Structure 1
């Protein structure tokens, strides 16, 4: 009996669990996230920081928790804490205390929020290099206007905010740094646009109902991780690659991991051109057209995902290739995926398509059966000072 008790104790130590916390999402998002019970095994990113009750006094430690191709993204890790106190927005001469003022500074900054707020940018919110936008401890929404643009910069972390109902920004002057104001054309209405940028990490965000894409990665952007996000109620979810003629996107490497692709999504989870996408341990709750697609000879490894097909018998296939022949040479592989309700993945190509991560980027991918647990905390979290998130 004593040896049996010891065995149980050792098993508990080997399999850490924590109590689920309710998420700080917009009200409509909270209603549609299912409840998976009171305990779960955490994913590798969350296990790095969520159990620390001192997270509020050690916020920059989050930057050490990235995995995949965006692992080197440090954001504002070595900068000062900048506190957003004012939700107003002036695209040309932003006031100190506003989000835009902090986002355009040249120095590294870790940007936090002193209370709940809804920010409606009048034109694109430009984010400069070495910035972290950290919504932990507040309910932060970027909504109902132009949203976030990450262009020609590096080392940006976006964590724990809701981005929804984004609309095309007006053409006009926009300040992108302390010293530069330039004329911007009408924006597309993306939730988060990553353009010609590198070392980017988007984690634990909620994205829904934007005019164009929820999260687009284009124009030779690379070294990016998209993780623990909750996507819902949208058509064109995530685009990787500008167009079929923009061959510079061959350098693109993106890790899409631990995300929850929820109800009301149509396509592009993601859609890839030219580059490489490691799509791992994500949950897909139906789709109206397809889940993973692409054109222009991309390479895609779908590993350990959980696909639940819609009831429509005509859209059971996970994949969609937009090509006039020749796609059978594209490397699209499925490994350890789980397929429910008739879902299926059409594989192609030959030879290895492993991500070839550096040792610091590597993470262990679980079997798809573990995904409902691994993704059950996708989206912004409720984080109270002095308590684990």
Structure 2
């Protein structure tokens, strides 16, 4: 798994060079708990010997060089979520996140100054705040094959127009299924996001929002409207170190717009203002947005009943 991410998070190695750590209890803390493994400072590849729900009483901080590998079991994180604070090289794979409660409680919160992160094949729903939030100069992140449902503010990238350091943010989101979530698929400020081969269906306000100086790179996305037809939103804000306000840029190229979803008119002075992902990484798995891809994304995103590799 390590080193197999695509996009901006492709250099994440997680706990590749550390030993296995086995989670043997669903308790919030203590020997054999997920929290105990995540707080250790050495590289670890964390696996699970139990299935069930881990009810967190506080946010679970993940230290650098950790892989949290849910393959072979079914683990649901509830109550609170993961916090990736000032860390690097973290991989989170094949977990469920549901029912997080409390102000500023996200399923996965990535801030500040975290980098080389890969979130893969996770199911996320029903948190009081975001499902995945990426803010405060966190960058070089990939979110892939994830399933998002039953939520309002799904994914925030760049939290405030005053956080001008977020110009460094770079995120890749691919092969994800946003199923009836209300908004923020994602909402972006300042940074660069490459969206491709995603399926966004039946949103409540908009599908994707680009605000102050944001750039959303070319897609090949399935975008299927429900009652709300507005696909792209452009909010105008003023960066703290600029005189004038601006919105963001979205390149809508190769998108399949279904059920009356409105097409994107590029905002700004021209298409060349939007970055091209080829400037940053040489290859990615780009598939034609055919009906078969839409069908696959409905069944192959999120937590999957897949075995842990032999020998682990």
TM-score (norm 1): 0.73
Match of residue 380 from structure 1:
303
Q: Secondary structure at the match of 1:88?
A: coil
- Kindly name which structure, 1 or 2, has the bigger radius of gyration based on alpha carbons: 1
**1:297 to partner: Cα distance:** 1.6
**1:327 to partner: Cα distance:** 8.3
CA distance in structure 2 between the aligned counterparts of 1:220 and 1:160, rounded to whole angstroms: 26
Q: Secondary structure at the match of 2:278?
A: coil
**1:284 to partner: Cα distance:** 1.0
CA distance in structure 2 between the aligned counterparts of 1:194 and 1:329, rounded to whole angstroms: 24
Change (3 A) 1:324 1:195: closer
Selected match of 1:70 from 9, 33, 37: 9
Selected match of 1:152 from 81, 86, 90: 86
CA distance in structure 1 between the aligned counterparts of 2:257 and 2:126, rounded to whole angstroms: 27
Change (3 A) 1:385 1:258: closer
Selected match of 1:238 from 155, 158, 181: 155
Selected match of 1:298 from 214, 217, 224: 214
Q: Secondary structure at the match of 1:69?
A: helix
Give runs of aligned pairs for residues 1-389 of structure 1, distance below 5 A. 62-90=1-29, 95-143=30-78, 145-168=79-102, 188-196=104-112, 197-263=114-180, 265-310=181-226, 312=227, 315-323=228-236, 330-346=248-264, 347-349=266-268, 350=270, 351=272, 352-359=274-281, 362-369=283-290, 371-375=293-297, 376-384=299-307
Give the number of aligned pairs. Answer: 298
**1:135 to partner: Cα distance:** 0.4
Alpha carbons 1:282, 1:371 under 8 Å: kept: no
Q: Secondary structure at the match of 1:267?
A: coil
**1:356 to partner: Cα distance:** 3.4
Q: Secondary structure at the match of 1:82?
A: strand
CA distance in structure 1 between the aligned counterparts of 2:39 and 2:250, rounded to whole angstroms: 39
Higher relative contact order (CA 8 A, sep 6+): 1
Alpha carbons 1:321, 1:327 under 8 Å: kept: no
**1:87 to partner: Cα distance:** 1.0
CA RMSD, Structure 1 to Structure 2 (Å): 1.9
CA distance in structure 1 between the aligned counterparts of 2:105 and 2:61, rounded to whole angstroms: 14
Between 1:286-295 and 1:344-353, the stretch displaced more is 344-353
Between 1:347-356 and 1:248-257, the stretch displaced more is 347-356
CA distance in structure 1 between the aligned counterparts of 2:139 and 2:57, rounded to whole angstroms: 28
Between 1:202-211 and 1:285-294, the stretch displaced more is 285-294
Alpha carbons 1:135, 1:161 under 8 Å: kept: yes
More helix by share: 1
CA distance in structure 1 between the aligned counterparts of 2:24 and 2:237, rounded to whole angstroms: 53
**1:270 to partner: Cα distance:** 0.2
CA distance in structure 2 between the aligned counterparts of 1:79 and 1:335, rounded to whole angstroms: 42
TM-score (norm 2): 0.90
Superposed structure 1 runs of 4+ greater than 6 Å apart: 324-329
CA distance in structure 2 between the aligned counterparts of 1:356 and 1:289, rounded to whole angstroms: 31
Unpaired stretches in structure 2, ≥5 consecutive residues: 239-243
CA distance in structure 2 between the aligned counterparts of 1:385 and 1:156, rounded to whole angstroms: 18
